[in-house]
Copies of this chain bind each other. A is one copy, B any other.
Amino acid sequence: MADPRFFRAAGPFTVGEVARATGCEIGGAARTDLVLDDVAPLETAGPSHLSFLANPRYGEAFAASSAGAVCVLSAAVAEAPSGATLLISSDPYRAFARAARLFYPATPVEPGIASSAVIAETARIGDAVAIGHHAVIEAGAEIGAGTSIGIGSVVGAGVVIGADCRIAAHVTLSHCLIGDRVTLYPGVRIGQDGFGFAPGRGGHEKVPQLGRVIVEDDVEIGANATIDRGALPDTTIGAGSMIDNLVQIGHNVVIGRGCVLVAQTGISGSTRLGDFVMVGGQGGLAGHLTIGDGARIGAKSGVMRDIPPGTTVGGIPAVPVVQWHRQTAMLERLVKKKDKQP
């Protein structure tokens, strides 16, 4: 059971109720009336718990699990532990996500403005907004209905935030327009100057950064991530993109819709990502590149050239992933061969 100090459980729910909420088919032991009172990992789940199998790596844990019900692919039915009711889905992780939200609904925002918050007279605050202690909303800023602003966060002059956003504590926003249903985690910095200057031995000369950051709807941005505003054009984060902790996004970068940038990734200035691009952890992209729709960039890769749509790359400098694996294998082989020489 999730720690009640931090989470409030709804439920219990029957297997039938969970199947309806998640769109799953019922299989295995198929006890539709089985009462489930919680979600749990395969290893620790008991007879009244719902679990899931999404990664084949955990097949053994599945076979040995005591879970009352498990969200699975139809392909996994054969390996199910006897007694388990199966909730069969073409996307069992998504089904589990919905079930988990049934058991643990998101905490609703409690509207209200903390006494210590500082709100400029010209700021416009929507209905049912929550503003935490020590937050500061500067002149001309706008905050949409149902949005919450965390403790100590700063919404700079003129910044626009849409409806139903969750802005955590200690966030700094300036020179940006934020869409609806955006989630910003603690310590996110958006809209500060890009790293733009004319270098020179007599002194680097700062170039005024005159663009903005546009964050479209349904975006998530992880803790302590940094997104600089554009130099002249805007920096843009496309709708539904998921950005992990400590990611850096340079000025003028355009991220398409539904992209996934894993932690500590860095995207240099003026690079453009298409839709549904995926970058693994600590990935790095040089500036002024074009990355096609659906491209996948391996963790720790260093991308120095444009990438065509749908391509998977890896390595430093990044090459098509098959080539990268061959290079790696080749090096290994050469070293072994040398070892065998007398």
Q: Which residues of B contact A140 (CB under 8 A)?
A: 5
Q: Which residues of B contact A203 (CB under 8 A)?
A: 218, 240, 258
Q: Which chain B residue lies CB-closest to A247?
A: B246
Task: Kindly state the separation between the CA atoms of A120 and B220 in the bound complex, as whole angstroms.
Answer: 29
With beta carbons under 8 angstroms apart, the residue of B97, B98, B204 that contacts A258 is B204
Q: Verify if A125 is at the interface (C-beta below 8 Å from B).
A: no
Q: Verify if A232 is at the interface (C-beta below 8 Å from B).
A: yes
Main secondary structure of the interface of A (DSSP, over half): loop
Q: Which chain B residue lies CB-closest to A300?
A: B302
Q: Are A154 and B151 in contact (CB under 8 A)?
A: yes
Task: Kindly state the separation between the CA atoms of A232 and B97 in the bound complex, as whole angstroms.
Answer: 12
Task: Kindly state the separation between the CA atoms of A208 and B262 in the bound complex, as whole angstroms.
Answer: 18
Count copies of this chain in the complex: 3
Q: A118-B133, A246-B246 are in contact. Are A205 and B263 (CB under 8 A)?
A: no
Q: Which residues of B contact A205 (CB under 8 A)?
A: 94, 97-98
Q: Which chain B residue lies CB-closest to A187?
A: B189
Q: A136-B133, A136-B134, A189-B185 are in contact. Are A198 and B97 (CB under 8 A)?
A: yes
Q: Verify if A13 is at the interface (C-beta below 8 Å from B).
A: no
Q: Which residues of B contact A341 (CB under 8 A)?
A: none
Q: Are B187 and A187 in contact (CB under 8 A)?
A: yes
Q: Verify if A143 is at the interface (C-beta below 8 Å from B).
A: no
Q: A157-B6, A264-B266, A302-B300 are in contact. Are A246 and B226 (CB under 8 A)?
A: yes
- A140, A204, A208 — most chain B CB neighbours (10 Å): A208
**Nearest Cβ on chain B to A2's Cβ, whole angstroms:** 4
CB within 8 Å of B: which residues of A?
2-3, 5-7, 39-41, 44, 54-55, 57, 91, 93-94, 96-98, 100-101, 104, 106, 114, 116, 118, 132-134, 136, 140, 150-152, 154, 157-158, 160, 168-170, 172, 174-175, 185-187, 189, 192-193, 195, 197-201, 203-208, 210-212, 218, 220, 222-224, 226, 228, 232-233, 240, 242, 244-246, 248, 250, 258, 260, 262-264, 266, 268, 276, 281-282, 284, 286, 288, 299-300, 302, 315-317, 319, 323, 326-328, 330-332, 334-335, 338
- CB-CB nearest 7 A-B residue pairs: A5-B158, A94-B198, A172-B186, A189-B223, A2-B210, A97-B207, A226-B245
